[in-house]
Amino acid sequence: MTDRSRFRPEVVIYVDADGETLLDWVQAGLEEQSVPWRSATGRGSAAEMAYLAAQDSLLKVGIGISVGDVVLHQSEMSRENPLFSGRPNSPTEARVFGENAGRLVKGLPLSDFNPSAPETEDMEVVRIVSRAVTRALAEYRRWGR
Amino acid sequence: MVAGIDIGNSTTEVALAMISPDGRKEFLASSVVRTTGVKGTLANIRGALLALEDAAARAEIKLSVLDRVYINEATPVITDVAMETITETIITESSMIGHDPDTPGGMGLGIGTTVHCRELTRCSPGQKVVAVFPGTISFAEAAESINKAVDCGVLVDAAIMQKDDGVLVANRLTRLIPVVDEVLQIDLVPLNMLAGVEVAEMGHSIQTLSNPYGLATIFGLTPAETKTVVPIARALTGNRSGIVIRTPSGDVRERSIPAGNVTFEGKNGQFRVNVDDGAHAVMAAAEKAYPVHNVEGEAGSNVGGMLKRIRTLMGDLTGQQASSVRIQDLLAVDTMVQTTVAGGLAGELSSECAVAIGAMVKTTRLPMEQIAEGLSRELGTKVHIGGVEAEMAILGALTTPGVENPLAVLDIGGGSTDAALIKKDGSISSIHLAGAGDMVTMLIDSELSLNDRELAEEIKRYPLAKVESLFHMRMENQTVRFFDHALDPRLFARVVILKEDGVMVPLPTRHSMEKVRMVRRQCKEKVFVTNAFRALGKVTVTGNVRHIDFVVLVGGSALDFEIPAMITAELGKHGVVAGRANIRSMEGPRNAVATGLVLASDR
């Protein structure tokens, strides 16, 4: 059992032996947000490590990095329900995990976990149509009783 | 078996009742549907039938047992709103970056000539520079190149970065300098020009770039030139960081577009007023001309265009020439609108003063006979045109418990605010005014700079909450609500609107919950409280609202969760009892005219 009183309030990151690069990028996200963190080597899946990290963190936020997976967890969430998991393809995507860990701690709105996902024209059409339909249904419900 | 049908601008309502031989009326059911088509056209028939069918189903009767049907004598009212911006921020002779990124790095004021980071190695010792870094350079490389240049004696006083790397770079520098990041359009930053870069401590705002004399000091400005930098100082006030670059004989030349004027033609003559002078001046001119016969707007202005639009719409509806349509009321309200600063490099917005204007045009009786005939044919029952709408509204309103003559009915809808007054002697006067729900939505949209009319409509209609953790949120009245399951991370730390069925919609803005609430309430007050007094003042002979004892509120906006309370409070200060109507003790603010039609049917 980790003796929590020895540590400062900080985000905890557990990373496997090969996660050095991903760790650097995730840390850059936290550093840019000026939120303290510590990292240590761990074993297991990214999800397991993230959950333990969140429990060990006095700020209640943990990150697990393992075989290309990155998981962000918060200690009040249940074990099976991390806040977000992904396989970042770029430094930018990995950094978002660190930034959002920072924002979670600071109480700021989170940024999109998939900033590089291209918005196709179809998505735009889907959005417009679904909004129109939702609105029409709402109006129908409003006037009927 | 009698039915009353009220075809309104937004809704068509029905009241169904059984009238016994001795005149007693037993109301069986009511219904409400969206009005089909523009009020006063044959398209309304479909909505009327739907409403009748709905009411009949609720009363468990067949439509064929209807003996008499009455529809309202509609006075169509067409309204519209427009906005005129009356101030403008234009920056000349300089460029400015004031987008206020979340995480700038370092601290202090840096002054130097802008150089591309590639050129750092070619700078001479003692040269004061501001290094510019496109996104292709990593934060580690950026820090290294600055440190190297400093070692060679180059005075790198500040850095401007494209990526969000401000803190990362600043943490790796040997010397503390201000670093402003997230400058997306880094290629627009003018190079080889004198620049000032400032970053304040966490929690503070910049002091030098937001001071005209600070700018004069940095750039050695003459008094005449200092006058031209005031818009920059204004735009950067309150920012945690900012950049100003002196680009003499700048490429920014903007013509100021005057807001135009409005002319009121009334009983007392013609009165012209400049919209630039503000809402107060516009309304004062309207008062001087009262009663107003017509309003004209200057061609080419937003207001002029809007007035032309409603004239054309009304002309189409009634078959008149647009030019002969008379506009009888205008409501002007001071507001703010976010516009892009001309001369800003990062799409900076500034709050500019604006005047929002709502206008109304109405005409006398529409050919409701056609609608009555069409409906008669569909139903197989004779459809009559019931009495004057204002009278029917009063009759219906009188079924609200606790009221008696003199009574005023204030109908607050989407397009117009209407008032009808019945005096002690039973005589009735009425009026229609511009300015209602749609204008409130427009004001909320512009003051919160949403650019989303639908979202503004939802903010108007629903209360707010701030999601403080993944498991709880604080509502606008400070009560806290907890959840068993974690909330969607997209809602975390956001201000949300609370809709029906537990649906929460996050607002895409940076405004605090208190700010959104304040704007919502102020916009409602600026339109509805103002119009409540205007309308009631105009229907009383004396013009004094104190002479009305009872006011009931009906119409779509009377269903709003806070508008009736605002009006109750304000009118209460004048000794007037005002509140949301309760037609027949059960319908709330709905069904007044439909009920009145039934009540008047045996006259």
Per-residue pLDDT tens for B291-308?
A: 888 999 888 888 888 888
Q: Looking at the partner chain, which of A34, A76, A143 has a beta carbon nearest the beta carbon of B11? A: A143
Partners of residue B467 on adjacent β-strands: B473
A53-81 tens-digit pLDDT: 999 999 999 999 999 999 999 999 989 99
User: Quick check: B483 contacting A, CB < 8 Å?
Assistant: no
Q: Which residue of A has its CA nearest to B590?
A: A143
Q: Which residue, among B46, B8, B14, B5, has the nearest Cα to B32 in the 3D structure?
A: B14
Q: Does B139 touch chain A (CB under 8 A)?
A: yes
Spatial CB neighbours of B456, under 8 Å, sequence gap ≥ 6: B441, B442, B444, B445, B448, B450
Please tell me if residue A34 touches chain B, with a CB cutoff of 8 Å: yes
User: What pLDDT is stored for residue A3 in this prediction?
Assistant: 59
Task: Report residues of chain B scoring pLDDT below 50.
Answer: none
CA-to-CA dists, residue A145 to A139, B23, B89, B421, B452, angstroms = 11, 30, 49, 30, 28
| pLDDT at residue B236 in the model | 93
Residue B86 has what pLDDT?
83
With an 8 Å Cβ cutoff, are B167 and A33 in contact?
Answer: yes
* Phi, psi dihedral angles at B453 (to 5 degrees): -60, -35
Cross-chain CB nearest to B470 (options A33, A76, A140): A76
Chain B contact present for A72, CB below 8 A: no
With an 8 Å Cβ cutoff, are A81 and B486 in contact? yes
- Looking at the DSSP bridge assignments, the partners of residue A15 are A41, A65
Contact B54, B33 (CB under 8 A): yes
Predicted pLDDT of residue A144: 42
CB pair distance less than 8 Å for B103 and A145: no
Residue B476 tokens read as 């606008």
Pairing mode of beta strands B2-7, B68-73: parallel
HSE-CB for B532 with a 13 A CA cutoff: 34
Token pair, residue B344, equals 């800003």
Rounded to a whole number, what is the distance in Å from the CA of B169 to chain A's nearest CA?
A: 9
Q: How many beta-carbon pairs under 8 angstroms link A with B?
A: 53
Tokens at B498, concatenated:
């609370």
Spatial neighbors of B113 by CB under 8 A, at least 6 apart, are: B127, B128, B129, B130, B192, B193, B194, B195
Sign of CA dihedral A131, A133, A138, A139: positive
Those residues with Cβ within 8 angstroms of residue B87's Cβ, 6 or more apart along the chain or in another chain: B352, B353
**pLDDT given at position A145:** 34
Q: What DSSP character marks residue B123?
A: P
Q: Sheet with B241-246: list strands edge to edge.
A: B94-97, B241-246, B194-199, B108-116, B128-133, B155-161, B179-180
Rounded to whole angstroms, the Cα distance separating A26 from A100 reads 10
Using CB atoms, pick whichever of B34, B168, B469 lies closest to residue A143.
Answer: B34
Distance from the Cα of residue A63 to its chain's centroid: 8
Q: At what angle do helices B513-524 and B453-461 cross, to 10 degrees?
A: 90
Query: Of the candidates A31, A104, A139, which has its C-beta nearest B34's C-beta?
Result: A139
Is B32 in contact with A104 (Cβ distance < 8 A)?
no
Low-confidence ranges of chain A (pLDDT < 50): 116-120, 142-145
The pLDDT assigned to B479 comes to 95
| Spatial contact of B412 and B525, defined as CB atoms under 8 Å apart | no
> How far away is chain A from the Cα of B232, in angstroms, using its nearest Cα?
28
